[in-house]
Chains A and B, each alone.
Chain A
């Protein structure tokens, strides 16, 4: 059992009504929106992917590409969690270079995205999970349309201040495991202040997947990006083509 934790009202959070979708239906599909999910080892990338799969299971045609250094572990985690059909997951080996596979030499990931579309037909959303890396890892714009960088409070509340391209430039920064903050002595207000200083107007979401197993606010952000993406690229284009 998770210990009872008092809500810190200074930290932004929401409580979406379960079972009610506040969103208008999305327009017809363009090429799948590709969203990269990166971040340090153990920050909760795979748990976030699982939560998003729960959120989108009956809503979007979803594919997942995972770059975990141990080829099958992340995919197996998602399969065990029962949140995604194994046929919708592709694993990419990165040869001890997780950052290379998502940034400098993205062909294997693009192939995996293509294979998902070939096997499953048109998709709405492809989540590309990076292998656990450090604060300098970032996705190529040739691979993903948007990127989420995931850090966690247990990694230390100084992480946002350290910056790095993930923290400063990711389209969304997720500060994960807020339920652990009191246990590890992390000050969420400090993390919030530093993230704002580093990121300017770019959004940051504090979340605890223990408290919100569907990662509702991250899912909302993706829905918003998907709506924009569909307006911006109405013509279907095969993955990997300019």
Chain B
């Protein structure tokens, strides 16, 4: 494995990207009486991993691949990998390519690939509240990324008003840190379970040793999700995973309207 310390730095909950303020749906699930103890927390985390975790990890890995020209490999069909990073015909990307721009032609290809990933992830996130949370978290991570890796080409991210989706920024941050797409997927999957678990310790007063033991039991599932996501990230954006949890969407919408809330999500 290359860059093991860099991997640990990015996965650390103390990395300053605002994770502490997000329970990723857990606060709403606790209020709804669906997560009350260690056992229900375990169910919740497995559900998150299989849905939001898989999708986030796949998009983060795909963004990392798009950002780093050395990552794309020939696809099983033998077709050159760059072909599916090309912008759709008649799209803005084709027109923009006629004029020189920072990053040149390769920069335009990356911009177009990231814009497609952003649109695809938007389409997979049914809840407006969750879309805006993902963009706010992306903005927070982008702020950290720009400060820490000033030379990285974060400007190739789509300029959405609320910020770019968090998994896309994670992919670029990972690439800037020298991680490969599989490592980036691991960071994303790991964050999915540890963020909500940490919120559960604070909200429910669960025994932190028991919660850590639960995370240890989930480690293999987390690795498997990351590996699945990294494989999926070799597919074109429209074929990336679209696993979803309608109840989580409903909870997220309700949570956003609460007058009193401890967590931003």
Contact = CB atoms under 8 A, between A and B. Distances in A.
Interface string A92-111: 11111100110011111011
Contacts of A96: 199, 202-203, 262-263
Interface stretch (B17-25, B108-116, B178-186, B236-244): B17-25
B261 A71 contact: yes
Interface string A221-242: 0000000000000000000101
Interface residues of A, number: 22
A106 B199 CA distance: 18
A94 B139 contact: no
A93 B20 contact: no
Contacts of B261: 71, 93
A94 B260 CA distance: 12
B143 interface: yes
B260 A95 contact: no
A108 B140 contact: yes
A97 B264 CA distance: 12
A95 B263 CA distance: 4
B144 interface: yes
A49 interface: no
A92 B18 CA distance: 11
Interface size bracket, B side: 20 to 34
Contact of A93 (B17, B21, B147): B21
A95 B143 contact: no
Chain A interface, >50% SS class: loop
A235 to B, nearest CB: 19
A95 B144 contact: no
Nearest to A242: B147
Contacts of B140: 107-108, 111
A95 B16 contact: no
A71 B264 CA distance: 9
A159 to B, nearest CB: 26
A205 to B, nearest CB: 32
Interface of B: 14, 16-23, 136, 139-140, 143-144, 147, 199, 202-203, 259-264
14 contacts: A71-B261, A72-B259, A95-B21, A95-B22, A95-B262, A96-B262, A101-B20, A101-B21, A104-B16, A105-B16, A105-B19, A105-B20, A107-B18, A108-B140
Interface of A: 69-73, 92-97, 100-101, 104-108, 110-111, 240, 242
